[in-house]
Amino acid sequence: MPLLDVRGIQEILPHRYPFLLVDQILEMEPDRIVGVKNVTVNEPFFVGHFPNYPVMPGVLIVESMAQVAGVLVLKSIPDSKNRPVLLTSIKEAKFRRQVVPGDQLRVEMKVLKRRSNVAIMAGLATVAGVVVAEAEVMCVLGDPTVAPQG
């Protein structure tokens, strides 16, 4: 049983379909989190990437990693609904294998450094125990008093 299903994740993250890229949180500790993205053939990005050879874009794998990290960051602060987590840097991103429809992307993120409004986390994404991507991401808590322009 997951710790959080997609409904629980949506209570924490502001992301919604088609940009919510985490389906479950399996494990969560103060400095570590594990999430899952089930990659299905009907993902909207497969229409153009690529029609006859569907491959999950690497930037979306990293986004999935950032969203899993965001769950950990937001879960640990009070009044998180008013504090968006913004991805501010990506370092050392490496893509080792393609992610295709039918894969279950397992994302593990570990805190490297944490301050009141900044978290630097190292992530590893695997499919069936095989590393498909890794990256270090930095997330910053957004200002709760600034409303997004729209």
How many angstroms separate the CA atoms of 15 and 84, rounded? 10
DSSP label of 47: G
Active site members: 49
b/e map 9-31, b = 16+ CB within 10 Å: beebbeeeeeebbbbbbeebeee
